[in-house]
Amino acid sequence: MSRFTGRMGQAGVMPIDPWTPNYEQAPGVAGGQEKQPYIDFGTDRLSDNEKYYSSDVLAKEWDKLLSKAWIVCGHINDIPEEHCYMKVDYGRESILIIRGEGDDIRAFYNVCQHRGTRIVKDDFGKARSFTCPYHAWSFTNDGKLAHLPGRETFREEVLCRNLDLEPVRVDQWKGWIFFSLDPNVGPLDDYLGERFRASVGAYDFRNFVRVYDVRQTWTTNWKASIEAFIEGYHVSSVHSATLTPVMDDYYTQHDMYENGHGRTIFPFMEPAQSYLRSVDGKVEGINEEMKLFLKAAGVPEDDYPTKWQDVKAAVIKGKRENQAKLGFDFSGFSDDQLVDDWNMSMFPLATFNAHPEGVLFQRWWPDEEDPRKTHYSLQIYAMRGECVIPSYMPIHPDADREGKKVLQPMYLEGMGSEALGPVVMEDVAFVPQFQKGIESRGFRGANYGEQEVRNRQFYHEYYRYMNGARNA
């Protein structure tokens, strides 16, 4: 039985509508899956369309929001050893994040204190020191000035200044690395909030390693880009061929947390209502994605169910019985959590789709000047070893599944590319049309339904920053 009472296509049972504000969840859930209290963000039309294309608005966003919030940028296993570093380009800033002893990390602006030249060009590397390519000033990887050529030619009044690299606030949570350009930003744990952190307590993110990394520049506003990935209302139309045969987009659970973070739980191994209607409820056998989940659960092929209605239970049973052989501890997960897709958003710029074995991590970083340009990255993180992850999470052939070798990102030209995978490709093909439409004088503003409540939540938090209430 699914957690939503009356689900699973049982004849004669009237299912509830879980997207309505005050539905009651079936008892017995675990693993942080509890339904969060509904927050009413109203029904107003969002009519300030210039936020999608105005350079003045973008400049205000950088001032009021993007330089104030915590920004998730990577994972501790992206810098797997002491002295490893990663370079993060964010707007007009470039930041070096360096691993010290153990799990200690530190961050600095990637800029020489001599004349302002950027020091490091590589995305990832390992170094005990960094040397500026312009005049060869060098710095230790804890930011201290180590050497400047021709020191005797500088007057003492210059040399007595602080010439070390400028530090950046950095912290981590469950292996995920965050930075903030605001030196006075509050604690990361407070920003994420207790309920959000507790909701994903069962996931062993700390032991995930990056197995895929593609980056691309989109010709859309960053907010327009993110909107498509925090609601499931578009799934039945945009992803009718790829997702609806295996994922229900209607009977979902929407949760809203403090500070703009959110979650939608999409039931997997359960065809969408729109798909079932399109085939008159007649689904022959089980599809390849269902077989993949059964394989991941250690179910022998001869024991695969013949009906889709039995797949979810078989996957759950298989994972419970085979967890030692699979190398996992599933005891902290609820049954549904072993199968379902958890779409999580970390305000303002990132989402991740979580399964116990892997995560699809996406971020949309605004351009420093062009409001119609977004710098997108898609990264897949998986548990160490040869575990099976959902098919929409690609794995690079050169990826080191043990995480000892750091995978370099692929930079894609233009919009699209099969390297994004079939599901994201369908979104990317559609998003530019959205950008063009919202700039039309004929568009009066966005009207969101309750399946898009996380879009309303996003803008509620967005305006708190933009109006100064968030930083008061």
Q: How far is CA 259 from the centre of its chain?
A: 16
Is there a single domain that holds both residue 146 and residue 214?
Answer: no
Which percentage of the chain shows pLDDT scores above 70? Answer: 93
Does 397 map to a domain?
A: yes
At 20, list the tokens: 């309505």
Is there a single domain that holds both residue 123 and residue 211?
Answer: no
Q: Give every strand in the sheet of 71-75, ordered side by side.
A: 71-75, 176-180, 169-173
What per-residue confidence (pLDDT) applies to 416? 74
Is there a single domain that holds both residue 151 and residue 215?
Answer: no
Q: What are phi and psi of 169, to 5 degrees?
A: -65, 130
- Which residue type sits at 420? L
Q: Cα separation of 359 and 383, whole Å?
A: 9
Task: Say if CB 289 and CB 283 are below 8 A apart.
Answer: no
Which of 123, 154, 174 terminates a domain? The answer is 174
Is there a single domain that holds both residue 249 and residue 161?
Answer: no
What per-residue confidence (pLDDT) applies to 46? 95
Q: Average pLDDT for residues 358-378, to the nearest whole number?
A: 97
pLDDT in tens, 4-49: 433 444 333 334 455 555 554 544 445 667 888 888 999 999 999 9
Task: Say if CB 445 and CB 46 are below 8 A apart.
Answer: yes
Q: Cα separation of 327 and 240, whole Å?
A: 34
At 367, list the tokens: 């351009």
Does 62 map to a domain?
A: no
Is there a single domain that holds both residue 157 and residue 211?
Answer: no
What per-residue confidence (pLDDT) applies to 27? 41
At 106, list the tokens: 């530190």
Q: What angle do CA 61, 67, 70 make, to 5 degrees?
A: 115
Is there a single domain that holds both residue 158 and residue 275?
Answer: no
What per-residue confidence (pLDDT) applies to 119? 98
Which of 154, 174, 194 terminates a domain? The answer is 174
Is there a single domain that holds both residue 360 and residue 244?
Answer: yes
Mean pLDDT for the chain?
91
Find the DSSP H helices in 246-349. 273-278, 288-296, 311-326
Q: Average pLDDT for residues 94-113, to the nearest whole number?
A: 96
Residue with tokens 């045969």: 245
What per-residue confidence (pLDDT) applies to 182? 98
Parent domain of 104: 71-174
> 136 has which bridge partners?
none
Task: Say if CB 360 and CB 423 are below 8 A apart.
Answer: no
Is there a single domain that holds both residue 304 and residue 403?
Answer: yes
Q: Cα separation of 423 and 244, whole Å?
A: 11
Q: Cα separation of 230 and 7, whole Å?
A: 23
CATH of the domain at 127: 2.102.10.10
Does 38 map to a domain?
A: no
- Number of helices (H), then strands (E), belonging to the chain: the values are 11, 18
Does 30 map to a domain?
A: no
Is there a single domain that holds both residue 340 and residue 434?
Answer: yes
Does 426 map to a domain?
A: yes
Q: Average pLDDT for residues 137-155, to the nearest whole number?
A: 97
Is there a single domain that holds both residue 140 and residue 233?
Answer: no
Of 35, 31, 128, 21, the closest CA to residue 81 belongs to 128
- Which residue type sits at 51? K
What per-residue confidence (pLDDT) applies to 13? 31
Does 427 map to a domain?
A: yes
Task: Say if CB 108 and CB 96 are below 8 A apart.
Answer: yes
Long-range contacts of 416-420 (CB under 8 A, 24+ apart): 417/214, 417/216, 419/214, 419/394, 420/214, 420/216, 420/378
Task: Record the pTM.
Answer: 0.93
What per-residue confidence (pLDDT) applies to 14? 34
Q: Residue 377 above 80 pLDDT?
A: yes
Q: Average pLDDT for residues 151-178, to the nearest whole number?
A: 97
Does 259 map to a domain?
A: yes
Is there a single domain that holds both residue 243 and residue 323?
Answer: yes
Which of 157, 174, 191 terminates a domain? The answer is 174
Q: Give every strand in the sheet of 358-366, ordered side by side.
A: 253-256, 262-266, 341-346, 350-355, 358-366, 374-383, 208-218, 410-412
What per-residue confidence (pLDDT) applies to 295? 93
What per-residue confidence (pLDDT) applies to 16? 45
Task: Say if CB 268 and CB 340 are below 8 A apart.
Answer: yes
CATH of the domain at 213: 3.90.380.10
pLDDT in tens, 415-462: 878 899 999 999 998 888 889 999 999 999 999 999 999 999 999 999
Number of domains in the chain: 2
Does 105 map to a domain?
A: yes
Is there a single domain that holds both residue 211 and residue 166?
Answer: no
Q: Residue 318 above 50 pLDDT?
A: yes
